Amino acid sequence: MRLYVDNAKCSGCNACRVACSLNLFGENNPKKAALVIEPQFPAPGVYNVKVCTQCGDCAAVCPTEAIKQDEQGAYYVNFDECNLCEACVPECKEEVMFVRSELANTAWKCNLCGDCVAVCGTGALWIAETEAVAA
Amino acid sequence: MNGYGGKILRVNLTDGTVTKEPTPPDVARDFIGGRGFGIYFLLKEVPRGADPLGPENKLIISSGPISGMLIPGGGKCDWTTKAPLTGGYASASMGGHFTAEMRYAGLDSIILEGLSPKPVYLFIDNDKVELRDASDLWGKNTFAVEKQFKERLGEEFQVAVIGPGGENLVPYACINHDYGRQAGRGGVGAVMGSKKVKAIVVHGTKSIPVADKDSYRKAGMAIYKACKDAEGLKDWTRYGTTIVVSWCDEVGALPTRNFSAGSFEDGKNLYGPVMREKIVITDKACFGCPCPCGKYSRNKKYNNYVEGPEYETIGLMGSNLGIDDIEAVAQANLLCDDLGVDTISTGNAIGWAMECYEKGIFTKKDTDGLDLKFGNVEATFAVIEKIARREGLGALLAEGVKHASQKIGKGSEKFAIHVKGMEQSAYATHNATAMLLAYMTCDVGAHHNRSWAITYDLQVGRDKVVPEKVARVIWLQNFRPMFDVLGGCRLQWVELGIDRDLYVPALEAITGIHRSWEDLDKVGERIWNMTRLFWARENEGFGRAWDMPSPRFYEEAPKSGATKGQITKLEDVNKLLDMYYEQRGWTLDGLPTPETIESLGLKAVVA
């Protein structure tokens, strides 16, 4: 399972990011969300959204094994075990592995909680089985 | 303090100092935020008789407790000041992402005071606050400046900026944000221009504390679910405010040729589905909104991008000017946004000038050689530019239709469409008595958003002048602006029919204070009376005469369209006011009685 996005449907409202920070940290702070919205304005007038594909590359390089997999297959960060080494950040091709030590004492990423999908009014986000990528 | 950023930022532009003070808990309790904070600080801190463009006036920018939260529509920012357009109260509501960012920087309000000797911009990055030189930005249009800041500082910064209109102190200059959202009405942009503040840029990474996290999340999620389940979501999101163009045309509420009629024979070319099909490429939302009304357009005919046009601009820059080309309207929209003038007042000013020209009051000598007939697209573009730069005919029109018509005379005052000096927004009010009363008594001038009562007119009979109609207008005036107090948007309630009681547990979980809608409506009523007292304080002889609408709505019936031959009698206009004042607890001259002031607990506030 993973999170999917249709950029064409995103309206840039950021409700997903508030919901995300609330789930991950119990805070109202979209800067601590695990997905990114990049507005492309005034031209071409679209939003680029970056979401986690649950590929697990971050977990593979984590020296403290702080990034674990839950029963639905989602990788999540066990905050207590993260040492802020940032090894995971460059591994993430989607650029949604975060270390911002001024904001949090841990790395963070999408744990596939689904709260972003619950608040998205335009249907831009959804969770589905990971599609096999053609070789 | 739960539900608040916790600080008021005070920026003294005269001496260049910035200070922060804690948000007073009693003010938060009694006035909640947004426009409540605005009128509180305006009455308290701006001295009687202050020149709107002088050092004593202040620009008070406020978020509210639902701004930046997990509550649908928490993206509204209130800009309160003494209005250069009217000399009375102004409060403009701006959507987008600015208000949320203010809160993440820990700020509930920003108060700009004094006058800067040179162009500056206000830089806010969490606790780092500086006034910086803006000499290189002065004179530039709004889009270029916003883009420059975004490129330099990154997308996380939010930018509010004035254009040449604000710099040139056009009394209906607006403030632009997020490439297409505005604090539009009353001239807040001119006040910012008088203070020589070109822009405010803000970025914050703080969290907003809440009283009860679990209840807050549950309550917020419940409102999102209600929005997503709403029957109207799909069509509303597809068309936004343009969904009402066709309805207004059909019922005679679409301003046509300077409000001389309410139906436009070519109106169908401006309807929502036509625009969607022709130019819209992206749905663009304010912060946290699941039902985005912003329609972002690619205008191939004029080779550019613009947010909108939305309903008001279609009404004022389209049908009101006899223009039936949606791409031309979009271009006029873009020019206004980029130059920093309000599309509603600008559309009125041009409509009035076109009528002057067609009636022979103006000749080409007065119009800088332009053939200013209704429907002339190129002349419209030229006049917008002239207004923002105060050049030629634009210098006259930049004064607003009230002052321009007083200067020109020759009967043109009769078709200057305004109340209290503010040009009327895009609902023609021929034989629509509730909506007419809403405009007459709106606390900023002829604006629709406080009390959008026109559907009620159709529901109960448009010519009916009955106490129930007046009561409806008053209820809407007390209740609808509460969303501007909370720092949120009313359209989830208006358009999707979201039960307003869903907001009660959310607000309680955020602030820790229980307030029923009965309590909140009371706050709305108190604020309404405060704004009335501000008008009276600032204007010698203020009273009933100020509430009169344009004679167009009681003297001349439209010659075509759905309201052909229909008119509200002057006697009924007066009857509406009598009933309104009585229900408000005001004198027959429209001033709150001492008993009303006492019962609303306002004695100390007005002392």
Residue B414: closest CA among B186, B582, B258? B258
B132 lies in the same domain as B23: yes
**And the tokens for B428?**
């023609």
Residue B511 confidence (pLDDT): 98
Residue B2 lies in a domain: no
Q: Is the pLDDT of residue B443 over 50?
A: yes
Give yes or no: residues B276 and B407 share one domain.
Answer: yes
- Statement to judge: residues B109 and B183 lie in one domain: yes
Residue B535 pLDDT > 80: yes
**B134-157 average pLDDT score:** 98
Most A-contacting residue of B141, B212, B283 (CB-CB within 10 A), to test interface: B283
Residues paired with residue B77 on neighbouring β-strands, in sequence order: B94
Do A29 and B294 count as a contact with CB atoms less than 8 A apart?
no
Q: Which of B158, B176, B198 is nearest to B335 (CA)?
A: B176
B427 assigned to some structural domain = no
pLDDT of residue A104: 97
pLDDT, mean over chain B? 97
A118 exposure class (CB count in 10 Å sphere: 0-12, 13-18, 19+): middle
**Do B431 and B567 form a contact (C-beta atoms < 8 A)?**
yes
pLDDT tens digit sequence for B299-310: 999 999 999 999
Name beta bridge partners: B305. B298
For residue B211, being part of any structural domain is answered with no
| Cα B578 to Cα B590: distance, rounded to the nearest angstrom | 9
Residues B502, B523: Cα–Cα separation, whole Å: 18
pLDDT score for B350: 98
Q: Band of the pLDDT at A135, cuts 50, 70, 90?
A: very low
| Mean pLDDT of all residues in A92-109 | 97
Going along chain A from its start, the domains and CATH numbers come out as 2-128 (3.30.70.20)
For residue A132, pLDDT over 80 is answered with no
Q: Which of B443, B494, B399 is nearest to B168 (CA)?
A: B399
In the chain, the amino acid numbered B127 is D
Give the span between the Cα atoms of B294 and B425, in whole angstroms.
18
| Residue B571 scores a pLDDT above 90 | yes
Residues B409, B441 within the same domain: no
Q: Which of B100, B178, B290 sits opposite A121 (nearest CB)?
A: B290
The ipTM assigned to this model is: 0.96
Whether residue B46 is contained in a domain is answered as yes
Domain assignment of residue B510, yes or no: no
| Predicted confidence (pLDDT) per residue in A40-76, tens digit | 999 999 999 999 999 999 999 999 999 999 999 999 9
User: Per the CB < 8 Å rule, is B155 touching A29?
Assistant: no
Please indicate, yes or no, if residue B224 is contained in any of the structural domains.
no
- Give the SS3 label for residue A66: coil
Contacts of A42 in chain B (CB under 8 A): 143, 147, 179, 304-305
Task: Determine, for residues B292 and A13 on separate chains, whether the beta-carbon distance falls below 8 Å.
Answer: yes
Verify whether the Cβ–Cβ distance A28 to B287 is below 8 Å.
no
Domain final residue, candidates B369, B399, B420? B420
Looking at the 3D structure of chain B, how many domains does it have? 3
- How high is the pLDDT of residue B604? 84
Query: In CATH, what number is assigned to the domain containing residue B198?
Result: 3.60.9.10
pLDDT (mean) for B38-60:
98
Looking at residues B340-358, what average pLDDT do you find? 98
How many Cα atoms are found within 13 Å in the side-chain-facing hemisphere of A40? 12
Q: Are residues B414 and B529 in the same domain?
A: no
pLDDT band at A131 (very low <50, low <70, confident <90, very high): confident
Domain identity same for B351 and B443: no
Mean pLDDT, to the nearest integer, of A81-103? 97
Do B178 and B102 share a structural domain?
yes
Do B256 and B129 belong to one domain? no
Q: What angle do CA A39, B72, A121 make, to 5 degrees?
A: 65
- Cβ–Cβ below 8 Å for B156 and A45: no
| The predicted structure's pLDDT at residue B479 | 94
The secondary structure of chain A in percent helix, strand, coil, rounded to multiples of 5, reads: 25, 20, 55
Reported as a single tens digit per residue, the pLDDT across B537-550 is 999 999 999 999 99
Kindly state whether residues B442 and B396 are assigned to the same domain. no
Q: From B394, B420, B446, give the residue that closes a domain.
A: B420
Structural domain of B305: 233-420
In this structure, are B237 and B186 located in the same domain?
Answer: no
Say which CATH number the domain at B375 has. Answer: 1.10.569.10
B80 shares a domain with B42: yes
Looking at the domain assignment, is residue B223 inside a domain? no
pLDDT at B594 > cutoff 90: yes
3-state helix, strand, coil in chain B (%, to 5): 45, 15, 40
Residues 167-186 of B with CB under 8 A from A: 178-179
Please check the confidence at residue B365 and state whether its pLDDT lies above 60: yes
**Nearest CA to B287 among B85, B94, B558?**
B94
Q: Is B214 inside any structural domain?
A: no
Contact B286, B96 (CB under 8 A): yes
> pLDDT at residue A115 above 60?
yes
The three state secondary structure string of B312-369 is: HHHHHHHHHHCCCCHHHHHHHHHHHHHHCECHHHHHHHHHHHHHHHHCCCCCCCCCCC
pLDDT surpassing 90 at residue B283: yes
Q: Read off the pLDDT band of B23 (50, 70, 90).
A: very high
Clarify whether residues B138 and B239 are in a common domain: no
Residue A48 in contact with partner chain B when CB distance is under 8 A: no
* pLDDT single digits (tens) B303-332: 999 999 999 999 999 999 999 999 999 999
Please state, in angstroms and rounded to a whole number, the distance separating the CA atoms of residues A70 and A77.
Answer: 10
Q: Which of B390, B420, B450 is the last residue of a domain?
A: B420
Helix ranges (H only) for B168-212 are 188-194
- Cis ω for the linkage preceding A30 (within 30 of 0): no
B217 interfacial to chain A (CB closer than 8 Å)? yes
**Which candidate, B490, B184, B192, B476, places its Cα nearest to that of B348?**
B184
